[in-house]
Amino acid sequence: MNIALYGVSRSGKNYLIDHLLDALNSKKRKTLFHVNGSGILDELSQKVFKISLKDTTENQKKQLRFMFYDEFTLVGNDYQHKIIDAHYCFCKDNDYKIAFTEKDRDINDIFFYLNTPASIIIEQANKDINKKEIAYMSEKEIEEWKEFEILSLREICLKCNKEFVVIDNIIEDCIDYFETLLLGSRNILLNSEKIAEYIIKKNEKIIHKNKKIILLDCDRTISDNDTTYNFCISMGICKQNLKNIFQGEHYSSYQFFRTAKLYAGKDISLYDYASTLAMKKAVLNMSLIDDIKHNGSGYLPIGITSGVFGIWRKIQEKHKFPCIIEGGSNIKIDKFIVSRTVKYQIVRLLHEIGIYIIAVGDSMGDIDMLNEADEGFIIAQEKRNETLETYFKTIKTEIVQLEYNKLLYDGITVRRSIFS
The CA distance from 369 to 358, in Å, is 10
Question: Are the C-beta atoms of 369 and 376 separated by less than 8 Å?
Answer: yes
The CA distance from 252 to 25, in Å, is 26
The CA distance from 420 to 409, in Å, is 19
Residue 102 parent element (H or E): helix 102-107
Alpha-carbon torsion (39, 40, 43, 48), positive or negative: negative
Query: What integer pLDDT is reported at residue 318 of this predicted model?
Result: 96
The CA distance from 393 to 208, in Å, is 38
Query: What integer pLDDT is reported at residue 63 of this predicted model?
Result: 86
The amino acid sitting at 214 is: I
Question: Are the C-beta atoms of 150 and 113 separated by less than 8 Å?
Answer: yes
E strand intervals along 258-413: 300-305, 324-327, 356-361, 375-378, 400-402
- The residues that bridge with 214 in the sheet, in sequence order, are 301, 358
**367-376, pLDDT tens digit by residue?**
999 999 999 9
For 29, 37, 223, 301, the CA distances from 116, given in Å and listed in that order, are 30, 20, 34, 39
Question: Are the C-beta atoms of 310 and 250 separated by less than 8 Å?
Answer: no
Query: What integer pLDDT is reported at residue 108 of this predicted model?
Result: 95
Question: Are the C-beta atoms of 302 and 324 separated by less than 8 Å?
Answer: yes
118 phi and psi angles, rounded to 5 deg: -60, -35
The CA distance from 227 to 351, in Å, is 30
Query: What integer pLDDT is reported at residue 218 of this predicted model?
Result: 97
**pLDDT less than 70: residues of the chain:** none
Long-range contacts of 357-360 (CB under 8 A, 24+ apart): 357/212, 357/213, 357/214, 357/215, 358/212, 358/213, 358/214, 358/215, 358/299, 358/418, 359/214, 359/215, 359/216, 360/214, 360/215, 360/216, 360/217, 360/221, 360/288, 360/418
Provide the pairing of β-strand 212-216 with 356-361: parallel
Query: What integer pLDDT is reported at residue 27 of this predicted model?
Result: 78
Domains of the chain: 2-183 (3.40.50.300), 192-415 (3.40.50.1000)
Rg (CA), the chain: 23
First to last CA, the chain: 46
Residue 201: helix, strand or coil by DSSP?
helix
Strand order in the sheet with 32-35: 32-35, 81-85, 2-6, 110-114, 163-167
Residue 345: helix, strand or coil by DSSP?
helix
| Rounded-to-10 torsion of CA 115, 252, 102, 13 | 30
E strand intervals along 20-169: 32-35, 81-85, 89-92, 95-98, 110-114, 163-167
Apex 413 CA angle, 407 and 416, nearest 5: 70
Residues with Cβ < 8 Å from 200, sequence gap 6 or more? 207, 346, 349, 350, 353
**200-224, pLDDT tens digit by residue?**
999 999 999 999 999 999 999 999 9
The CA distance from 51 to 53, in Å, is 7
pTM of this structure: 0.94
Label residues 281-297 b or e (16+ Cβ within 10 Å = b).
ebeebebbbebbeeebe
Residue 110: helix, strand or coil by DSSP?
strand
Residue 414 parent element (H or E): strand 414-415
Residue 80: helix, strand or coil by DSSP?
coil
The amino acid sitting at 400 is: V
